[in-house]
Amino acid sequence: DSVPITEEAPTRPTSPYGNTKLAADLMIGDQARAHGLRAVSLRYFNAAGAVGKAGERHHPETHLIPNLLEVAAGRAEAIRVFGSDYPTPDGTCVRDYIHVDDLASAHLLALEATAPTAGTGWHRIYNLGNGNGFSVREVIESARRVTASPIPVLEAARRPGDPAVLVASSQRIREELGWLPARPGIDEMIADAWEFARSGSAS
């Protein structure tokens, strides 16, 4: 598969969660065309960061950045890295992270694009990502810089089904809706998430 990933890339869900997201896209498209509606689907890549009291809260936590911050805060002993032999520059998986503030601005543009007008219905799908990937090791190093914590690492085997690289092409939403990520830096995303975690809002 080509990288960065466009909206036209083949959809091959490998989990019930992925199947339901694809089914929702198909149903939205059918309804829009059948009833003259305007609809937008936003496909997030890896949401990160925080704004005020809005940040990540998962129990149990499965995402890389919050787990790194748990280690930095002394609530976990080490971060587990699943696979260090991928065909990437440092051997770890590469992912596209996008700040939640940039996601919010994309939602506002999507709402404006779907304002009621006369005419035939349509359904537009947009990828939301920075278009730049960060490896697991790069994210770990960023978290170490931001938190001034050593963050010990435990190497583990690959997880089945984890692709080496997942990076979005957001060219379509940039060209059609004028969206641009204003906060693309991984250090800033982690710094905002770290502030959220230390504030107690994440508990």
Give the catalytic positions in this structure.
17
Give the 3-state secondary structure of residue 61: coil
Which two tokens mark 2?
């080509």
Find out whether the peptide bond into 4 is cis, omega within 30 degrees of 0: yes
Q: At what angle do helices 186-198 and 64-72 cross, to 10 degrees?
A: 60
Residues 6+ apart with CB under 8 A from 118: none
Residue 71 amino acid letter: V
Beta strands in 9-152 (DSSP E): 38-44, 46-48, 79-82, 94-99, 122-128, 133-135
Tokens 């950045």 locate to: 65
C-alpha 77/C-alpha 74 separation (Å) is 7
